[in-house]
C-alpha cells in the first residue's frame, strides 16, 4: 500500500487493490499482480480463519509465495533506482544533493 502512495496511485482500500493499481501503472506485470492478489486473499483466510485451513494450500503458498515476493520487491527496487544526472553541470551544482525515498517524501532542510 505504501508503494501506491509513494507513486501517487491513490489509497487502496485492500491489499488486492494495491497490487491492481501497481499493475495498471505498469510497475508490475499482470501475471505477478494476479498471483499477489491471490496471496493477499490467502493471507486473509489464514489471518481471519474464514475457513478450515487447507494444509495443501499452505504448502503451495510456502513454495510459490517467496518467488513472487522477490519478483515484486525487484520491480519496486528497479522503479526506485535514481536516474542518471541529465548533464555534468548538474553534478557540479553548488546546492547539496537530496536523497528521496520512494516510500517517504522528505521536505527540504529549513534554511538557517
3-state secondary structure the chain: CHHHHHCCCCCCCCHHHHHHHHHHCCCCCHHHHHHHHHHHHHHHHHHHCCCCCCHHHHHHHHHHHHHHHHHHHHHHHHHHCCCCCCCHHHHCCCCCCCCCCCCCCCCCCCCC
Whether the predicted model's global pTM rises above the 0.75 cut: no
pLDDT in tens, 11-26: 888 889 999 999 999 9
Over range 60-66, report the average pLDDT. 86
pLDDT in tens, 89-102: 544 444 444 444 44
So where are the chain's domains? 2-81
Amino acid at each position: 500500500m505504501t508503494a501506491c502512495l509513494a507513486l501517487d496511485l491513490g489509497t487502496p482500500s485492500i491489499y488486492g487493490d494495491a497490487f491492481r493499481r501497481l499493475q495498471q501503472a505498469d510497475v508490475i506485470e499482470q501475471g505477478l499482480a494476479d498471483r499477489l492478489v491471490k496471496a493477499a486473499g490467502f493471507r486473509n483466510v489464514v489471518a481471519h480463519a474464514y475457513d478450515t485451513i487447507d494444509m495443501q494450500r499452505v504448502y503451495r503458498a510456502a513454495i510459490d509465495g517467496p518467488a513472487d515476493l522477490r519478483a515484486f520487491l525487484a520491480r519496486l527496487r528497479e522503479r526506485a533506482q535514481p536516474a542518471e544526472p541529465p548533464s555534468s553541470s548538474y553534478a557540479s551544482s553548488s546546492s547539496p544533493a537530496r536523497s528521496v525515498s520512494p516510500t517517504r517524501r522528505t521536505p527540504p532542510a529549513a534554511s538557517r
